[in-house]
């Protein structure tokens, strides 16, 4: 057998590592921001029944335009969004990839602001789109002034914004999105090119009260795209269904790059059944938010510093050696995420049992060695 280095890879892929989080067999898996509550039995039965209805026709290609699914997604999103403004694919990662296939590519630039979702530079590399990191403040926040200045400086073709941000969990203010959109419009008005501004709202359903969605900004902004997923709040990570809302012309652009019949009949049936039982399916969201807020409160009590979280996870700092704590938690059967940011870890808010297991394990680690918690904030 040959190895990877002997294959005629594109130069831009040499030396790269694939995306991946540890998949370990432990009692408490709190590292990938899944909804750890199982799909309610009634919803699982509804999905099974709808999939059974399409099973006999799997010899035929599915609806290429996933018409019924788009109708359900538009109704769920509200804000006056029509089915023509909705697009879907196999997870929001594929939606983001299609956006770069349509609007990025060789000679074009993607701007984002790290630390953020680690797939952004990987998607850029996979589509031969140059990636520019605009950076963030020391506390990992992003101001409207800084973001707009980077758009004016680099004149990107695409901007990716995660709100809530991953791994930090905090939502962007709408002023940041508005400033970025205005800056790209100014670039175009000055004779350059504008940018597609993409707001990745994968965790939107978990937002704190009073946090506004970028969906409220869509009207009149034909270059704004808001992406969502059914992997998180809907507890359907295994179904692989992501979607977006934007000007209808954006969906037309993505039709140029999508693979034929890219959404299977089974995927469409699963998503439709879930959307038909959406209230029941989202009943776990409030419980998860409660566990998230519990984590924030108890970590603060331990002397740690959790970030404000509009998501189903908590990013926390002031760890003297984050990876050592990650290993100590793993030894106790709790898997959290070491995102590679010094002195910080990220934990998914799970069920009450899972959350208790994490907090008890971390409290034991801290009590055994108080030096685990740094005396000062460390960056």
What CATH number is associated with residue 321? 3.90.1150.10
Range of the domain at 300: 21-39+283-372
In a domain, 358, yes or no: yes
When pLDDT is averaged across residues 71-82 and rounded to a whole number, the result is 98
- Residue 377 pLDDT exceeds 70: no
Q: Which of 249, 280, 311 is the last residue before a domain boundary?
A: 280
- Residue 378 pLDDT exceeds 60: no
Q: Which of 7-16, 258-267, 275-284, 353-362 has the lowest mean pLDDT?
A: 7-16
Residue 275's CB is within 10 A of a number of other CB atoms, namely 19
pLDDT band at 15 (very low <50, low <70, confident <90, very high): confident
CATH number at residue 178: 3.40.640.10
Q: Which of 280, 307, 327 is the last residue before a domain boundary?
A: 280
Same domain, 260 and 154: yes
Q: Which of 11-15, 148-152, 359-363, 368-372 has the lowest mean pLDDT?
A: 11-15
pLDDT digits (tens, 9 = 90+) for 16-46: 888 877 778 899 999 999 999 999 999 999 9
Compute and round to an integer the Cα radius of gyration of the chain.
Answer: 21
- CA max distance for the chain: 64
Q: Which residues of 110-122 are buried (b: 16+ CB within 10 A; e: fewer)?
A: bbbbbbbbebbbb
For the chain, give the mean pLDDT: 95
Residue 241's CB is within 10 A of a number of other CB atoms, namely 29
Same domain, 83 and 219: yes
Same domain, 205 and 350: no
Number of domains in the chain: 2
Same domain, 300 and 325: yes
- Residue 377 has which token pair? 């904030």
- Residue 202 pLDDT exceeds 90: yes
pLDDT band at 375 (very low <50, low <70, confident <90, very high): low
pLDDT band at 83 (very low <50, low <70, confident <90, very high): very high
Same domain, 308 and 332: yes
When pLDDT is averaged across residues 121-131 and rounded to a whole number, the result is 97
Same domain, 233 and 273: yes
Q: Which of 11-20, 101-110, 241-250 has the lowest mean pLDDT?
A: 11-20
In a domain, 1, yes or no: no
Same domain, 296 and 276: no
In a domain, 57, yes or no: yes
Same domain, 35 and 75: no
Predicted pLDDT at 122 = 95
Q: Is residue 343 helix, strand or coil? A: coil
In a domain, 132, yes or no: yes
Q: Which of 243, 261, 280 is the last residue before a domain boundary?
A: 280
Same domain, 127 and 222: yes
In a domain, 237, yes or no: yes
Which residues have C-beta within 8 Å of that of residue 83, sequence separation ≥ 6?
Answer: 67, 70, 71, 73, 74
- The DSSP element (H or E) to which 125 belongs, if any, is helix 119-126
Residue 135 dihedral angles phi and psi, to the nearest 5°: 70, 170
Same domain, 221 and 330: no
Predicted pLDDT at 3 = 85
Same domain, 193 and 71: yes
- Residue 248 pLDDT exceeds 60: yes
Beta partners for 162? 200
pLDDT digits (tens, 9 = 90+) for 140-195: 999 999 999 999 999 999 999 999 999 999 999 999 999 999 999 999 999 989 99
Question: Do the beta carbons of residue 307 and residue 140 sit within 8 Å?
Answer: yes
Question: Do the beta carbons of residue 143 and residue 176 sit within 8 Å?
Answer: yes
In a domain, 150, yes or no: yes
In a domain, 10, yes or no: no
- Residue 376 pLDDT exceeds 70: no
Same domain, 302 and 260: no
The pTM for the full model equals 0.95
| Residue 228: closest CA among 77, 34, 70 | 77
- The DSSP element (H or E) to which 265 belongs, if any, is helix 265-276
């Amino acid at each position: 057998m040959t190895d990877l280095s002997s294959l005629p890879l594109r130069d831009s892929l040499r030396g790269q590592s694939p995306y991946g989080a540890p998949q370990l067999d432990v009692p408490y898996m709190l590292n990938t921001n899944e909804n750890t509550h199982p799909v309610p039995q009634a919803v699982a039965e509804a999905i099974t029944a709808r999939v059974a209805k399409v099973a006999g026709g799997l010899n035929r290609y599915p609806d290429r335009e996933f018409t019924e699914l788009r109708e359900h997604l538009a109704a769920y999103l509200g804000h006056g969004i029509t089915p023509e403004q909705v697009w879907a694919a196999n997870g929001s990662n594929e939606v983001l990839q299609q956006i770069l296939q349509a609007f990025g590519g060789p000679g074009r630039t993607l701007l984002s602001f790290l630390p953020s979702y680690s797939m952004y530079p990987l998607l850029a590399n996979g589509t031969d789109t140059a990636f520019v990191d605009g950076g963030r403040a020391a506390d990992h926040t992003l101001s409207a002034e800084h973001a707009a200045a980077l758009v004016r400086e680099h004149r990107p073709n695409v901007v990716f914004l995660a709100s809530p941000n991953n791994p930090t969990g905090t939502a962007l203010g709408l002023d940041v999105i508005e400033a970025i959109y205005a800056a790209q419009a100014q670039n175009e008005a000055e004779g350059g090119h504008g940018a597609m501004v993409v707001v990745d709202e994968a965790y939107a359903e978990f937002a704190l009260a009073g946090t506004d969605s970028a969906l409220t900004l869509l009207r009149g902004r034909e270059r704004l795209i808001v992406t969502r997923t059914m992997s998180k709040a809907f507890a359907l990570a295994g179904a692989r269904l992501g979607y977006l809302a934007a000007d209808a012309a954006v969906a037309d652009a993505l039709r140029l790059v999508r693979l034929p019949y890219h959404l299977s009949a089974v995927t469409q049936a699963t998503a439709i059944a879930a959307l038909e039982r959406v209230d029941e399916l989202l009943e776990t969201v409030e419980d998860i938010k409660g566990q998230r807020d519990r984590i924030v409160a108890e970590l603060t009590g331990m002397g740690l510093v959790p970030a404000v979280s509009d998501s189903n996870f908590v990013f926390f700092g002031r760890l003297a050696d984050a990876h050592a704590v990650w290993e100590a938690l793993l030894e106790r059967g709790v898997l959290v995420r070491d995102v590679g940011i010094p002195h910080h870890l990220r934990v998914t808010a799970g069920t009450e049992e899972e959350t208790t297991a994490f907090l008890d394990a971390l409290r034991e680690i801290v009590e055994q060695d108080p030096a685990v918690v740094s005396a000062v904030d460390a960056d």
